[in-house]
Amino acid sequence: MAQSPSAIILVIGALLLFASSICADGESPFLVAHKKATLKRRGPDTERVSVSIDIYNRGSMSAYDVSLTDDSWDKDLFDFIHGNTSKSWKRLDANALVSHSFELETKVKGLFYGTPALITFKIPTKAAVQVAYSTPILPLDILADKTINGKFELAKRLLANYGSQVSVISLVIIFGYLIATSAKSSGKRS
């Protein structure tokens, strides 16, 4: 049985969260990173990708010289609008959170699979640099044709925003129609 990429990503994410809860009890930093990307249509041939990466220290000690690198954004496919794909922090305390974001503009239409971001950090009790990875992003369908789906989305949004007002106005109109037609038919009988 073939599994979809999104189901596999969800399973990997659940395993990472499970491992983080088990390993976070030790006397060391334990970094968990969540990477997410959203698409914003700017025109018929332009779409922007907003990327944000949250890094949590789920351990009981601080991590030092924390460095984030996200090299999955090919310069042939994306132009940088603002921000950059790397960031560093001197220290990330226990149970602390840091975030980094950047925005890109797409150049090519198609399905894009991003890789996890790389996080390196140091622990005072160990000489070796420690490595962690973020969760991968779901596949992005860049510049996808969304005409039919877009019309349904618009109808859903309009119904959600104005559905109750339309219902009340319809009920008032139907009630007025019933009263007017019953008054006409009772006037003809006399």
The predicted-structure confidence for 58-70, as pLDDT tens digits, reads as follows: 999 999 999 999 9
Residues 95 and 161 in one domain: no
Q: Which domain holds residue 132?
A: 5-142
Residues 67 and 53 in one domain: yes
CA atoms of 120 and 65, how far apart (whole Å): 8
Residues 163 and 121 in one domain: no
Q: Is 92 within 8 Å of 121 (Cβ atoms)?
A: yes
CA atoms of 89 and 112, how far apart (whole Å): 29
In 10 A of CB 40, how many CB atoms?
A: 11
Q: Is 63 within 8 Å of 24 (Cβ atoms)?
A: no
Averaged pLDDT, 143-148: 66
pLDDT of residue 18: 60
Residues 98 and 189 in one domain: no
Count of structural domains, the chain: 2
Cα distance from N-terminal residue to C-terminal residue, the chain: 75
Averaged pLDDT, 67-87: 91
Who has greater pLDDT, 137 or 162? 137
Lowest mean pLDDT among 87-96, 121-130, 158-167: 158-167
Res 19 pLDDT > 70 = no
pLDDT of residue 24: 45
Residues 113 and 187 in one domain: no
Residues 53 and 87 in one domain: yes
Angstrom CA distances, 81 to 60, 102, 173, stand at 37, 8, 52
Residues 189 and 160 in one domain: yes
Residues 68 and 120 in one domain: yes
